[in-house]
Amino acid sequence: MLIAGNWKMFKGPAEAGAFCRLLRDSDLGDCEVVVCPAYVSLPETVQALAGTDIAVAAQNVHWAPEGAFTGEVSAPMLRELGVYGAIVGHSERRQFFGETDASVARRVRAALDQHLAVIACVGETEAEREAGETEAVLARQLEAIAQAAPERDELVVAYEPIWAIGTGRTATPAIAQAAHAFIKTILDVPVLYGGSVKPDNAAELAAQPDIDGALVGGASLEVESFATICREASRV
């Protein structure tokens, strides 16, 4: 069971370091645990978690190893910092920053080429779900990732129904399970659920046969909340 905490644009270096020093002394059950801080907090986070089993991943990665791409960070740069992997294609990147299936695929390929683990995100909007297009949307997104990643040992997919991110709404375990099962017909890799995961629903979601962990947003910003999710998922 893999539990990843996506801190989004929260926690500068000082706060990230303090958080990680508390997290390393917390009971996290027997889950694999990853935290994903903002770029500026990566060095402090890597240092604070050195010598632990808690991995550190970035929230995005560019497809080029270097170049005139102002504001972007490359996979070799992340490797030099000691970062384990990267989230790619998060719905907020797609929604607010123009990420496309093609650009997500390029980022996936670049990260894997540098032996970074990848959490590649897919998911449908509320309008797409209501129109009965969930599987078509997922298939389109997944096929782009699959073509970019013929070798998949370091690839994980995160299913994040966009209508359940930051809204307090969570896909029912049955809805999440159905989506995860469909994803695995296209990509045979671990699949995390991401969409308002909290301490009180973590165990029920983790108990579904095709859910292999969680990509946690807001509930990963407090140590006890995140640690509780890890412990609850471990009990399954």
- Is 15 tagged catalytic? no
- Is 160 tagged catalytic? yes
Which residues does 70 contact at the CB level (< 8 Å), separation at least 6?
Answer: none
The whole-angstrom separation of Cα 6 and Cα 128 is 25
Q: Which amino acid appears at position 8 of this protein?
A: K
The dihedral built from the CA positions of residue 74, 78, 80 and 84, taken in this order, carries a sign that is negative
Q: Which residue is catalytic, options 44, 62, 90, 99?
A: 90
Q: What is the DSSP string of 204-234?
A: HHHTSTT--EEEESGGGSSHHHHHHHHHHHH
Q: What share of the chain is helix, strand, coil (3-state, %, to 5)?
A: 45, 15, 40
Q: Which residue is catalytic, options 44, 92, 124, 160?
A: 160
CB distance 171 to 127 below 8 Å = no
Q: CA distances (Å), 172 to each of 133, 190, 197, 202, in order?
A: 18, 19, 11, 12
Where in the sequence numbering do the catalytic residues fall?
Answer: 90, 160
